[in-house]
Amino acid sequence: MTFRHCVAVDLGASSGRVMLARFDADTRLLSLREIHRFVNNLHKQAGFDTWDIDGLEAEIRIGLNKVCEEGILIDSIGIDTWGVDYVLLDKNGQRVGLPVAYRDNRTDGVMALAMEQLGKGDIYRRSGIQFLPFNTLYQLRALVEQQPDLVSQAAHALLIPDYFGYRLTGKMNWEYTNATTTQLVNIDSDNWDEDLLNWTGAPTSWFGTPTHPGNVVGHWICPQGNHIPVVAVASHDTASAVIASPLADTDAAYLSSGTWSLMGFESKKPYTSEQAQRANITNEGGAEGRYRVLKNIMGLWLLQRVLKEQNISCLATLIAETAKLPACHCLINPNDDRFINPENMSAEIQAACRESAQPVPTSAAELARCIFDSLALLYADVLNELAQLRGKPFSQLHIVGGGCQNQLLNQLCADACGITVVAGPIEASTLGNIGIQLMTLDELSNVDDFRKVVSHNYGLTTFTPNPDNEIAHYIAQFQQQRQTKELCA
């Protein structure tokens, strides 16, 4: 037997993991084992919401060292994280300041300014990326205006996964799939758009040419002295999750479900028409020259905040209570920008229901039911937008990521969308990270080959639409709810 051992560092906006994969090249069996898990929280520093970047690095090193202490010879390491955020470095490669988190409000009003000065259509034609107030395009402008002292010290800007790769190897890299989330990459050239960068006021010299996933950035020297390749995987976590989505055919859509829900389809061409712009569709970079044509949905962030505020420790019990409640008693638009980072999510949901003359949810179960019903209806609306864009309906919807464990939400999604839902794998981002590593090691030929490995090794659960479901009757009412100010509109 020929075994390969690959380590995936998978960081999300609320937690991080170091995972060990073992791949048998003869039987094509792939197993995952969690080595180290840790929390990722926002920290208020100097008035900004920031990431504890040094603490995260320390946790990553703890996980890597644990693998080495077991005597396992690691073949490669890959890192994936959330998008848009970055770290500044000075001319000596030392960090300048702390990375400000995308949920910070420093970008308030900046996106509107960009649209006014550059033109919304021109920005979209150049980047193909949806308008989100926290895109790096707007973050950099806010940085230049609000923290000029940091700008004067900085010589480089690395996106979060590239920064951790740099800390392990001493080599800088700008990986393409994550770079596209910035709204600063030109969709025609796959390189930084100088006009957009110039508008931010940040030096273009901060950024090197983006590289596509699958190249070895450098080597990490483990405590035992081994030089281990660090691979630039599809470092945006959604890009990795899509790689691991066992899409049945070209008519299948995907939903990467977690703190954010990303719904879309793969395409060999971008969609940058006026119709796509009106729907605020994004064309993020994927592996092998494919585009991830998708839309951001606020996702389970709302539930995560409610769980924390209501001090709920057992999600399974809450979901069981929620399933007993009537459908669509009250609805919100999860993409209303009031839910980006409110002081109290429970109170914000209640206020939204009160303002729209609906019953106000009070218990944790009622709040969860409101979130689940609203998300399912939003999924249905977005899936319809995507189908209209491509000119034909979808055959299936594949839900991957941690959110696919929520069977109630999966069924509500199938009912609202009127389509078969296939759930799994749960560890999609980690698996996609591993998949690119195995391709780089010449153990697999391409993404489609890897998806066969995923289907072979990980059980999938199917949910079919219930013909007697209640939720589909509320689609028209929900579409009226979406007329509010939207994060993604």
Q: What is the pLDDT of residues 353-365, one digit of tens each?
A: 999 999 999 999 9
Annotated binding site for ATP: 13-17, 259, 304, 402
CATH architecture of 3-232: 2-Layer Sandwich (3.30)
Which ranges of 201-329 would DSSP assign to H, the alpha helix?
237-243, 274-278, 301-309, 315-323
328: left (phi over 0), alpha (psi -120 to 50) or beta: left
Contacts of 241 (CB under 8 A, 6+ apart): 254, 256, 262, 400, 401, 428, 429, 432
Which one is catalytic: 80, 193, 237, 381?
A: 237
Residue 397 pLDDT exceeds 60: yes
Token couple for 397: 């919807």
Q: Angle of helix 407-417 relative to helix 315-323, nearest 10 degrees?
A: 40
Fold of 238-424+460-489: Nucleotidyltransferase; domain 5 (3.30.420)
- Per-chain mean pLDDT for the chain: 96
pLDDT band, very low/low/confident/very high, at 489 (cuts 50, 70, 90): very low
Same fold, 3-232 and 238-424+460-489: yes
Q: What is the pLDDT of residues 143-186, one digit of tens each?
A: 999 999 999 999 999 999 999 999 999 999 999 999 999 999 99
Which ranges of 70-193 would DSSP assign to H, the alpha helix?
110-118, 120-127, 136-146, 148-153, 160-169, 176-179
Token couple for 101: 């988190």
Residue 486 pLDDT exceeds 80: no
Q: What is the pLDDT of residues 215-245, one digit of tens each?
A: 999 999 999 999 999 999 999 999 999 999 9
**What is the arithmetic mean of pLDDT over 112-116?**
98
Residue 86 pLDDT exceeds 80: yes
Annotated binding site: 13-17, 83, 236-238, 259, 296, 304, 402
Domain range annotation of the chain:
3-232, 238-424+460-489
Q: Is the peptide bond before 326 cis (omega within 30 degrees of 0)?
A: no
Q: What is the pLDDT of residue 1?
A: 62
Residue 411 has, within 13 A of its CA and on its CB side, a CA count of: 11
Active site residue 237: yes
Q: What is the pLDDT of residue 483?
A: 67
For 70, counting Cβ atoms within 10 Å of its Cβ (0-12 exposed, 13-18 middle, 19+ buried), the class is exposed
Annotated binding site for substrate: 83, 236-238, 296
